Every structure is written in structure tokens, then in C-alpha cells.
Amino acid sequence: MILLRTASATQTQEAAAVLAELAEGGDVILLAGDLGAGKTTFTQGFGRALGITDPITSPTFTLARQYQGRLMLHHLDVYRFDSNLEVFDVGLAELIDDRSSVTVIEWGDAIRTELPLAVLEIELRLGDDDDERHISLRFTGLDWQKRQPNYVAALAPWIVEGDQ
């Protein structure tokens, strides 16, 4: 696991942009955290680094949005799901199987059991200051674990001292 600390929304977006630069088709990223912790802000930085110029907004009411960049970005919000069965309604299995895209799922921890083992789990937590965030990254699955050293190097400016 990697622990990061960002001091502003801009820094959170910059850290997300670093992740996007290393993203590969077929990646699945779960975002967890309290309301207002920065899940959509994170996704905005991620999307901009993929070359997406359209505004990225929370898909809370639409459940899913798609944006074209270097890779297609499938942006889902499962906060309003009444049951895990709704993942089939949005075609999640097909989205994840798309090797030309990255899937980012806000509140993804709520449907973790419905997802493949190989995901990047990111939890955003509020810090002591209004804009400070504590971000933990957990690399699950062999492919993500192999890639972890690249992420450690790229995220060095935000890594909490002594962690890696």
C-alpha cells in the first residue's frame, strides 16, 4: 500500500494525473471515501491527463459517463445502487472487458465483490485542513503489484514520509 498526502484539490488532481499517465487499457480503479473527499476531483485530474477536454462531472444521477481521450474513460458512480445486481444494468462487465478503456468507479468499495481481483483501490480521506487529503492506494492482483514500483516512483512528491 502507498499512502499519499495532498494539500489542495490541485495537488489531488496532479497525483491523479500521474496515475493516468501510467494507465493501461483494461485498468479498473475503485475510489472510496466520504462525501466531499475528492473522488470526482480525482477523476477530473485523471481524465485531463488522458487528454479529455470535456468537463468531467459526477455521474451520481446518470450512474455512468464516458469520455474519449488517449484511452476511453468509463466513469461510474455506484452510490445510488440499491443492490450489487445493478452492476449488470450499467453493463459493468462489458466496460471492464474493454481493453481500450479505463474504468473509474466512485464508491467502488460498495461493489468490490462484483469486480475482478485485479484492481487499484484508492481511498480518499479528509485531512486536518479543508483541502488536505490522505490518499491510500492498494494494488490488488499480480499485474497491479508488478506495476507498483512505477507508481511509487511517479508519486514520490506526495508519498507520506517513510511509506512505500
For residue 126, count other CB atoms closer than 10 A to its CB.
16
133-140/119-126 β-pairing: antiparallel
Residue 33 pLDDT > 70: yes
Per residue in 58-99, pLDDT tens? 765 556 888 999 999 999 887 665 545 455 555 666 767 778
Radius of gyration in angstroms for the set of CA atoms belonging to the chain, rounded to a whole number: 15
What does each C-alpha distance from 127 to 8, 76, 91, 97, 137 come to in angstroms? 10, 25, 35, 35, 16
Structural domain spans, the chain:
2-157
How much is the pTM? 0.88
- Per CATH, the number for 2-157 is 3.40.50.300
Count CA atoms closer than 13 A to 122's CA, side-chain side.
27
